[in-house]
Amino acid sequence: MTPELQGIGMTSRRTRSRMIQRLREVGITSERVLATMEEVPRHIFLDEALSHRAYEDTSLPIGHSQTLSQPYIVARMTEVLLRHGPVSVLELGTGSGYQTAILAKLVKEVYSVERIKPLQDRARDRLRTLGLRNVMLRHADGGIGWADKGPFDAILVTAAPKELPRDLMMQLAEGGVIIAPVGEEKQILTQAVRHGDDFEVTQIEPVRFVPLLAGVVR
């Protein structure tokens, strides 16, 4: 067993099971999502000093002013996304790689863009440790997406733009869905489904994410 995967035994599994029970209690109903989140070791996506807090329902810092989203938000966004039956998913903001790993267990193809190179490098190592081979990573400004790999069945945005980014939305396949936190001081988790050049927009619930920023960091 690799050092990063130490602690995936009984104690960690019991802790993950308690996390799953809390997710059920706050309204997560997708058994596929719950089973996947119970399987994936969230603690390896954090620095060792914070790993003991990995299964709390809270966001945690991962450096570079970025955070690992709380388990509820990961579960909620993934649950909403899966309702649309996507095969290929574009994730904007790889971050720690935890959301990426959850998606990789649930859909055929994941394309993930991260603007901060050190975060991407660590995420790549973690995904390899878990043996996930259906993820393609790109170091780029997330706001531009990854058009030459599209169109995508779904786009998941893990940082908050001020408004739904239409250029990204045009990288969706017909009937595809984008799920993103939208806003500045007040943010709303929002989904938009593509119908030709029009989009059916639905607001889901209030959230709090770091802002979607332009540019890359090496």
DSSP letters for 19-53: HHHHHHHTT---HHHHHHHHHS-GGGGS-GGGGGG
Reported pTM: 0.92
The DSSP bridge partners found for residue 110 are: 89, 135
Catalytic residue among 12, 51, 69, 88: 69
pLDDT at 193: 98
Residue pair 127/135 in contact (Cβ under 8 Å)? The answer is yes
Going from the C-alpha of 162 to that of each of 102, 119, 169, 191, the distances in angstroms are 26, 23, 14, 14
pLDDT at 2: 47
Complete domains list, the chain, with CATH: 59-207 (3.40.50.150)
Catalytic annotation present for 69: yes
pLDDT at 4: 45
Distance from CA of residue 20 to its chain's centroid?
17
pLDDT at 9: 42
Tokens encoding 11:
């104690």
Distance CA 201, CA 109 (A): 25
Residuewise pLDDT in 10s, the chain (218 residues): 444 454 444 447 788 999 999 999 999 999 999 999 999 999 999 998 998 899 999 999 999 989 999 999 999 999 999 999 999 999 999 999 999 999 999 999 999 999 999 999 999 999 999 999 999 999 998 788 999 999 999 999 998 999 998 999 999 999 999 999 999 989 999 999 999 999 999 999 999 988 887 666 87
Residue pair 67/210 in contact (Cβ under 8 Å)? The answer is yes
Distance CA 212, CA 190 (A): 15
